[in-house]
Structure 1
């Protein structure tokens, strides 16, 4: 028989272990939310790795309109009869994350106030874990406050189940003065970003506080789960357009996917051994009849645009939670850590993968037949473990951005100016030369060498970046190849041009004119088409800037032509035929004497040229900035610059 002392010790140890486990959960909410800067900012409980529920909350928050400095009642209720055990509640101005006003509790046994950021009674929480279905508080606004106030709460049902962003809006003061509406209540969590101020009053902020307002999917990024989103590092700022997270939990991996693009009908994550689509495991959340369904599929090499096929999940994939609210798709699911799909083993704990993230609006058979081509795809720049909380970083798009910038500089900038110089300025600056050549020819050659160099560099760069033919941008790619070929051979042909007196010179002139203008036109069309490429991430109004460029280019050419006609009339050198020898702005052949004489109205033509160069430079720089900083709408540099301007104006 086992020694009694051993039995007693074992029993005591089991009792301690059994008692110790629940105490952690009980301690987590039995005395209310802690008074810490992190909790006061995020309104989130410290419940290990648990994250807020993403679906609609079963709890509601309501508040009435109030007068300046007068108290009003705020109530948390259970809409479906589910009891809750804990909560934390603050009142905030519509344009601020700092709690304002003071709470008064009438049931001190179940509720209490805490002092967030050193201000007494500005936050209210529970004081014991008893079950509740309704709790009412009295809140008094600041005496000088007039406008909309947002009550923001997190409600805890149990240790692992809680909802963040349970909100209600109330109007304080005169509605006619604020322009707001009163008595608004909602349970949908608002997607917020960093704090901004729209008032002219100076704002005092405590530097130790992180004011990032967190949506549930962002909680734990970098500390308990891996995150990857777009734009790059958006999980830090809480402003992702598309995002994934992964968390290892025992023999399961928990994934979250989110897309905030209103066009999205699906959001998907792919696991790959390389950075290219093909032979990838894909998990996709698809909106079907206002619900979100989870599927598994496989990208087939070498044509992933048409080669994605659905696969059975075989019980390895389980949807845990989802929502489709305010045009935002969210899903949470788990998959087994070690599975075999399409004869390929995916051992998530021991293998590193590239993460492919995509969303789009093309679905087949209402979503049940698969998903179509994405309008945005994001690739991680390196392989990594899905359990690595440092997360993933997007692959560098430096080469892609350089390709766009070089092509814009070549065909919008240098080619446009070079062509104008050769066509309209052969009888300008005739009294001076550059490197022994006429001014127009020297500068024409400089600009065209620049076009050639930038085009060849951009052509090589994009193939180094893609490492293959871009089937998803076929028209753009074909025009780009033709443009590059024409640009490549154009200066080679110019080297072998006949002498001015040769009978073959007119043939050369026409061929040189045709090849150069064809390359220019095709290059412009290719840049037009770049605005439709998902990888380019260009804004929808890109096309209107290009239309503006074409209109400006055509109008200026008409003005140059009119100026040339006036100049000819002034010098009385009209002709009725157009043999293409040495062509002036009006295609009139020039004699040696005429070639050395500057045409009338040179100052006016120079003014038009200066105006044209200025306009081309402005358009070129604008297009390059948009292409390099794409997506321009969500670029943090632009956002910070706008905030800086707003701050200086308000100051």
Structure 2
């Protein structure tokens, strides 16, 4: 088996790459400290601690840095750096020396130490020394990798201060985020696009005078290290905005102002899907203030431009605005589509007056296709079959009459448009979305049921011969004085909205049987759970008239 050795070599290389940089040579990650593999970093608190043996240092004095796993956890990889606390985006400072060369190694990005192997570890130490002219305060940062899929990026460690230097305040002042102040006046839209960036719905609205206005503004400080946000909107429970790399909900950073009793709670979190957000520590926000008046929620807060693992405000992001209800301090699903900015923007960049819209392009295209299919093509196709038989009875080359060719073309076009329009909401939602009955959209329910009914009613063959109801047989059924086709339709219950949907669907089926040029076979539509059923009897008489009755009964 001459090919065995190359195959083993290929498998060995593939297995090796599955661990990313298991040898710790991650020099390319010195800037953002990301491991360059796997999904997004974990937003929850890490089970690790980074500590130092002294709170202050002198130039050249050694500082022992320790990384410890907590609660029986472990780690396979790590990257420790020391940076100027006043500018965490600056290059690393000082130099490291190794305490355990068999487990760690130095990197070429100066003040950085990483793992040497991908084995399990619970504790690691390294010694750091400053340069001759160190910054006034140094912040230690660490990225910890538990496995290929689970890791935490840029965990904030201890801060050490240069002896004899005045300690500089950190970027985030030690304001308590749990007790924000009360705003004395509403927000203003003055300066939008000039001194601050804004996104609002309706476009150009003023939050200080229009209570329907959903408003967001953000302003970066002079250094670009932090951003101030002002959020306002009419809501029963909360107003929020999210930052995303695309126009799809999920895997986004979210910020919420939630009505909580007589005040407002300001929160930050991460949304991995259509679930409750995973909240970040409240220390990530500061300078909070709020205001409640006439159903209007307003809040203001600050956040650092770079705060891993959240999105950096120095990158281009889409902005979402949403309002909704809350119960017991927990947010509920928003009932309207969020307002989405028309393009990406840099949050810490120059001021812009952004434009946004609620309905996405796929949903608008769904409406256009459905209106075209049912208001034009289907209607014209039915009229052609109903009233044009005697006008266009001559036959063309394919052997069919002109009215039938027109009718068939229009109905096939209606079918194609309906099929495409029916799939677009599923593409937008990225699949089937389950919901509680009280939260489900009745329009979506009616659309799905009608779509399933149409799919089940398609004939295997379609010809001009099938367009006549008179004759000895209808789909193999003897033509009697009354030929009944029973359509049992089951629904979850008999509440008023479902009864209205049943009547709408009955009318649709009967009209289709009465006016169209083909006959539907028996149908069956069963919901997963049903407590009652509706039996519909549609009678087809040999003279072409259609009668129908329906009744409700319990199973």
Give the TM-score taking structure 1 as reference length: 0.40
Could you say which structure has the higher strand fraction? 2
